[in-house]
Amino acid sequence: MTDPKTQTGSRQDEFEFFEESNALWWITLAPTTWAVHFVLAYGGTAVWCAKFGETQGVTVARLSIAGLTVLALGFIGWLGWRSVRRWKPRQNDMEDLSHPEGRHEFLGHAAFLLCIISAIGVVYVAMPALFITTCR
């Protein structure tokens, strides 16, 4: 007979492991958004200019990049907000994050920092669309 207490502990461990492995995926979401935004912005513009650039100009591509950028920044903002909630900066200082018990909060902190760099990356990637008004 298994001790019910041990069983509960094991389930608890499994749940925590599941949650942390999810958190590992979670921290990749913002950089992935940045990468997808990059590929769509540059790849989409290249295809548009090759197929329609001479006759229809680049306005559609620029507006699409603007829309994509708003979507990407909105999603990264939401990820950042959720990451801060996981991090709980008011309840944890940096020392807390360096212990195994603070792994959950540490992953929230890391995800938040990746959200910041990804948001900067998305803005930099989109900036050419603000200035360049032709497919040439």
Partner 1 sequence: MIRSLAGSGRRLVAMALMMALAGCAGRQSALSPAGEDASWLHDLWIVMLVGAVILWTALNGLFFFVTRVRPNDWPERHANRLIIGGGVIFPTVLVGTLLAYGLSMMPHMRADGDGLVVKVRAEEWWWRVEYWPAGATAPIVTANEIRLPTGQRTELLLDANKYIHSFWVPALGGKMDMFPGRETRMTLRPETPGVYRGQCAEFCGPSHALMAFEAVILTPGDFAAWLEAEAAPAAPPATPEAQRGQTLFRDEGCGACHAVRGTEFDGLVGPDLTHLASRQSLGAGIMEVTREDLTDWIAHTRDIKPEVAMPAYDWLEAAELADLAAYLEGLK
Q: Is 24 in the site for partner 1 (CB under 8 A)?
A: no
Q: Is 124 in the site for partner 1 (CB under 8 A)?
A: yes
Reported residue count of the chain is: 136
- Residue 135 is inside which H or E element, if any? none
Which residues, in sequence order, are CB contacts of 30 under 8 Å at separation 6+? 76, 79, 80, 111, 114, 115, 117, 118, 119
Q: Which stretch binds partner 1 (CB under 8 A): 26-34, 75-83, 97-105, 125-133?
A: 125-133
Q: How far is the CB of 128 from partner 1 (least distance, A)?
A: 6
Residues 63-102 that bind partner 1 (CB under 8 A): 93-94
Q: Is 123 in the site for partner 1 (CB under 8 A)?
A: yes
In the chain, which residue ranges form alpha helices assigned H by DSSP?
Answer: 4-56, 59-87, 94-97, 103-131
> Interface with partner 1 by CB under 8 A: which residues?
93-94, 116, 120, 123-124, 127-128, 130-134, 136
